[in-house]
Amino acid sequence: MTTLTAPFDLQKVREDFPLLTTPFHGKPLHYLDSAVSGQMPKPVVERMAHYAQFEHTNVHRGVSTLSQEATDRYEEAREKVRRFLNAGSLKEIIWTRGTTESLNLVAQAWGRVNVLGGDEILLSAMEHHANIVPWQLLAQEKGATIKVLPITDQGEILLDAIEELVTERTKVLGLTHVSNVLGTVNPVKDIIARAKAKNPNLVAVIDGAQAVPHLRPDVQDLGADFYAFSGHKLSGPTGIGALYGKQALLEAMPPWHGGGNMILSVAWEKTTFIGLPGKFEAGTPPIAAAIGLGAALDYMEALGWEKVQAYEHALLEYATERLSALPGLRIIGTAPGKASVISFVLEGVHPHDAGSILDHEGIVVRAGHHCAQPLMKRMNVPATTRASFAYFNTTDDVDALVDAVKKTLEIFHG
């Protein structure tokens, strides 16, 4: 079988993930589900444990040395996110619980003020529910209309439709950077530029959850007004994410949650809020998780984003070639520009059955609609089986997947 040479020490990297050598149903484990949640390497786990054991206290609230040092570590993590996204200011980085909360924050704190009856919200046909449902709730409340950017059978946005669908009433362009189902890497910069050429006043809200494990976004270069992502997608912990927003937009937005830590003063008559980013961060923050996300960014930076992207692309090409050769297997999403995600269907086999058989063979994948039911309907499938590859995967993982798929087809077709 083919062996790919990684542009980093792959064996050393794999040693950072003890799960990868843990038996699973009595077989070797092949973790091919990083699109749902990336695994945390030992340095991230150890950094969070160190905080819990030796640095733990609250932040922004104490004069003690311990509290001040915890605050420094917490804000250093915010600075790492700022650098990662190339945001212009720390004030533009808001901590959230993840992409979903970030998108809801924008829909509620910006949308409720700026979207009016008769306005339009433009989303792509490949959006995750997290970038659909908040806008639906807002549209229902305000009397706005949702429009949908169509896609091709291969899973690419029809760019010419932007000219037709963007109007003077378009207030929001909601777009995933990378499809969690198709793997398509959307030309976000071009799409935003086309949309704003038609209506300079719309805001571009980008779901970056599936992009950040594979590439380093530059929000200024993209022209994004808001960019959301989750820590657990890029080898960090769950329960932490970030929202980038242009400073002028964030300053004009009212707070979304209310409570401690985001106020300047409280009286029965009136509450005065602190400035950015704190006015959107009510309550005790996810301190350990933020520090863990910062450690994950350090880990990825040390590997090298270009090296990660190149290796994952090579894995994707190898897996695509091997899976495409299997009779009865059809890949859903064949755009030329893809991240390392492959969704497929097997003739005469429900994806849930395929996922269960693969599970017993030690292959961890995802089966279902992947929180993208409108996309499933567009692609004329009820669900897919999805394999997603990360920088710690190998061609052995791909070969094990192919063998398990062959076994699945044999079970159903003899």
Long-range contacts of 254-262 (CB under 8 A, 24+ apart): 254/109, 254/113, 255/109, 255/279, 255/280, 255/282, 256/105, 256/108, 256/109, 256/280, 257/282, 257/283, 258/282, 259/283, 260/284, 261/60, 261/61, 261/285
pLDDT at 3: 80
Annotation marks residue 76 as catalytic: no
Report the interhelical angle of 287-303 vs 65-85 (nearest 10°). 40
Predicted confidence at residue 283, as pLDDT, reads 93
Q: Whole-angstrom Cα distance, residue 104 to residue 221?
A: 24
CB 238 within 8 A of CB 268: no
In the chain, which segments carry CATH 3.40.640.10? 47-301
Residue pair 188/206 in contact (Cβ under 8 Å)? The answer is yes
Start-end ranges of CATH 3.90.1150.10 in the chain?
A: 10-31+304-413
Q: What is the dihedral of CA 108, 211, 195, 168, to 10 degrees?
A: -10
Question: What is residue 340's DSSP assignment?
Answer: S
The reported pTM is: 0.97
**In one letter, which amino acid is 395?**
T
What's 299-315 look like in SS3? HHHHHCHHHHHHHHHHH
Q: Is 397 exposed, middle or buried (0-12, 13-18, 19+ CB in 10 A)?
A: buried
Q: Which CATH architecture group holds 47-301?
A: 3-Layer(aba) Sandwich (3.40)
Q: How far apart are CA 390 and CA 372, in angstroms?
A: 22
The CATH number that domain 10-31+304-413 falls under is 3.90.1150.10
CB within 8 A of 173, min separation 6: which ones? 122, 166, 191, 192, 195, 202, 203, 204, 205
pLDDT string in tens for the chain (414-residue length): 578 999 999 999 999 999 999 999 899 999 999 999 999 999 999 999 999 999 999 998 777 899 999 999 999 999 999 999 999 999 999 999 999 999 999 999 999 999 999 999 999 999 999 999 999 999 999 999 999 999 999 999 999 999 999 999 999 999 999 999 999 999 999 999 999 999 999 999 999 999 999 999 999 999 999 999 999 999 999 999 999 999 999 999 999 999 988 999 999 999 999 999 999 999 999 999 999 999 999 999 999 999 999 999 999 999 999 999 999 999 999 999 999 999 999 999 999 999 999 999 999 999 999 999 999 999 999 999 999 999 999 999 999 999 999 999 999 997
Catalytic-role residue among 193, 215, 371, 381: 371
Query: Residue 64: is it exposed, middle or buried by C-beta count within 10 angstroms (0-12/13-18/19+)?
Result: exposed
Q: Which residues of 151-181 are buried (b: 16+ CB within 10 A; e: fewer)?
A: beeebbbeeebbeebbeeebbbbbbbbbbbb
